[in-house]
Structure 1
């Protein structure tokens, strides 16, 4: 059972069936109540009409034995103000719900039952001394007429007469039609509702299975990708424009990003291993020669290789932290002042920073970014390096321009890739591993900025760093 309702299809089918069941029960109850109310109102109307008809005869001082009590073959009682039954349907054998269970009339207490009293007032209109109340009371009860028992809706109408005083007429209307209609409707609902719920459950099950079929395909493909570790595979995208298709596309985008990240990591490890191999091999060779022939030990070369290894290790560690998503610090400082500090003491470098440009982030990382830009400019400049810091709208802009050969248009994005050297021999001799500009671009992006390159006015390369100014 737990496994059966553990699937989305089963839960969706159960939920849809329960919702429809609740709606059907509510609608059925409303229909039954409305049907019963309407039929009861019809019975009320019929009973009231009969009661008022008898009341109008009493208002005309009609004798009790002359009242048309058996015209509709329904139970009728006439009770005086003392509760005495003075007139009733001839075949009435039992009655309840009218306030009087008497079925045989008693002797009348006034003159209305005496023959010849109709004209005792010398032609005077009896309606002038009679009054029929407008209000009608309704009650439920039962009665037996001519040996048949049934439930009735009774209407009670009071009439004031001159000779008999206050009389109450009880007239009944059968509730058999209401009972039959409600019973029939209930039977139809008890038979039809389960069938309708079965149809809803089957349709929901089939529709859900069809809707979730692409999800199962995505799941199977993801399981195969996990088992094979082949990130080049992609999940199937259904020819629809619904949530499942968007899920498939998002999954493929995630796989593409993951594949790119893994390939980048593999290249990074391979390139790092290659870059570390040369200084380590050189250092080992020098140490082995020094161990065998101390007089031939190149101490300066060993120190140079060690420093190169130290810088490379620091670069690799910083890249690893950036790849891990390390959030830069939230310190506020003047980028113009930091630029002047990094350029101080460098030959051929001029800095133009007329105003402060406060930014937020890691002072150490941004200092490393500026150092890398200045080192790159020093390696390629012929004589001069011009640095400017200015505010443009909501940005702090740093430009580092040299008078070297510049960067070809086709390589202006490639130089920001890791371990890329356009002049491999010169970069290796100079101690560069092709990580400086990659680190600079990553640091800029982590701080919400950009780093691009274009031609400088002097003909060399101009690197432009844009960082958002600190809020406030």
Structure 2
């Protein structure tokens, strides 16, 4: 596997699954082997102790050595020693026992015919008929009524235990790698199937990047999982980018169109003035220049807002701001209570000025401004007694370069940026700007801002 492929999610998931399974198998295998060996040794202990106690029981009643029945079993060798450690009897074909621990002194508390309650166990070897094998020995003391204290050593072969452990270990050594291979293969296939939609999303995104076609969308799987949510989020991002690009394209086109008219008019007037100085319309040239200046200022402000410019930190009294912006506008009435908000006085003043200009263009005779506090919000309302805004257009009028037909028919209708700037500034200040109908049928613009 190449280094790059090893870095893939599939490779890491497969490796991780194999490591976890390998650790689990090693732990389980060790536990099984230990448990198997412990159980088999317990069985050998039981067998050895049973033989030892059988012989001890016969000795406790004074049975002669040559009449002990358990000495004929070659599979379970028996050895009997006296208190001095001398062998006094043993199985017929038993040649040697090694590894069996003996006590330095016997249990003198045993009464004649009494058998020791607790047996002692240890591993050793026994040579029977020339063959040496591992055994598990049990040692039991008994006091013969005539022969005194005797110790009976009986062994149970460990060949079955050793064979079972070797068989289990062989099965594990063969089965564990096969199981790991199965886990790796299954994990590799499952992750490939799970990540196939991700690869499709990646390929489509690469194609979109190469073609710069934001109208394309990545495939959305029907799995209803994280990959499907990723695809939906990606498509939503692409849609937002497409809409942003379209807005940018439309903005540039509309800005070019709006700039073309005053520039062409100003150029015509200057060319006429150069050819015929007496015919120069100075007032018209100044008016076109002012219009260009305002449009350039609006475009610059929108560019700063789009760039994420944060409003200046400060406190603005909206009542004082409303009175300042309505000074020199006799048709405007003001009803304001002092409410402070945080933000830029210049930008908020621009919002109020734009709303007042819009209301003046559409009002029949009167414009009203009201400033009040509602809960934790400052509310500024600008109302006029005009025809109002149709419900279908109440969101569209906040788009850039959008002017309704009746506004376009006016010479001072503006470029259609005032309300767009007002809403953008409101949003940047953590507020909202909406429009609804007054009881008399005019337009009521409502600016809501958080109180400082």
Runs of 4+ deviating beyond 6 Å:
none
1:75 aligns with 2:58: no
Is residue 432 of structure 2 the alignment partner of residue 450 of structure 1?
yes
From 319, 322, 337, the equivalent of 1:339 is: 322
C-alpha displacement of 1:296: 4.3
Classify the secondary structure of the residue corresponding to 1:77: strand
Structure 1 residue 98 displacement after superposition: 0.7
Match of 1:365 among 344, 347, 351: 347
Contact kept? 1:13, 1:204, Cα under 8 Å: yes
Cα distance change, pair 427–309 in 1 and its aligned pair in 2 (3 A): farther
Contact 1:339 1:370 in 2 (8 A): yes
User: Within 1, Cα distance between the matches of 2:320 and 2:117?
Assistant: 100
1:129 lines up with 2:86 in the alignment: no
Q: Which residue in 1 is equivalent to 2:106?
A: none
TM-score, normalised by the number of residues in structure 1 = 0.86
Partner residue of 2:90?
88
Return 5+ residue gaps in structure 1 as ranges.
Answer: 101-126
Gap change, CA 1:81 and 1:445, over 3 Å in 2: farther
| Residues 66-465 of structure 1 aligned to structure 2 (within 5 Å) | 66-73=67-74, 74-99=76-101, 129-160=112-143, 166-354=149-337, 356-423=338-405, 429-430=411-412, 432-465=414-447
Displacement of 1:386 in angstroms is: 1.2
Residue 371 of structure 2 aligns to a residue whose secondary structure is strand
Q: Which residue of the partner structure matches residue 57 of structure 2? A: 56
Measure, in 2, the Cα distance between the counterparts of 1:406 and 1:246.
Answer: 43
Structure 1: distance between partners of 2:16 and 2:260: 64
C-alpha contact 2:71 2:92 (8 A) present in aligned 1: yes
Distance in 2, matches of 1:396 and 1:131, equals: 104
Scaled by the length of structure 2, the TM-score of the pair is 0.89
- Render the CA deviation track for 1:191-214: whole Å, top value 9, x for unaligned: 222222222222222222222222
Give the aligned CA root-mean-square deviation in angstroms.
2.7
- Structure 1 CA distance, aligned partners of 2:322 and 2:98? 106
Kindly state the Cα deviation for residue 400 of structure 1 after the two structures are TM-superposed: 0.7
Task: Report if aligned partners of 1:234, 1:252 keep a CA contact under 8 Å in 2.
Answer: yes
The separation in 2 between residues aligned to 1:19 and 1:43, in whole angstroms, is: 36
CA drift of 1:398 comes to: 1.5
CA separation in 2, counterparts of 1:434 and 1:422? 9
Deviations 1:428-457 (A, max 9, x none): 732611001011112222333221111123
> Could you say if the C-alpha distance between residues 162 and 367 of structure 1 is closer, same or farther in structure 2, counting changes exceeding 3 Å?
farther
Q: Residue 22 of structure 1 aligns to a residue in which SS?
A: helix
Equivalences, count: 446
Unaligned runs of 5+ in 2: 103-109
Equivalents in 2 of 1:404, 1:2: separation in Å? 73
Distance 2:114 2:310 in 1: 95
Q: Distance in 1 between matches of 2:413 and 2:49?
A: 113
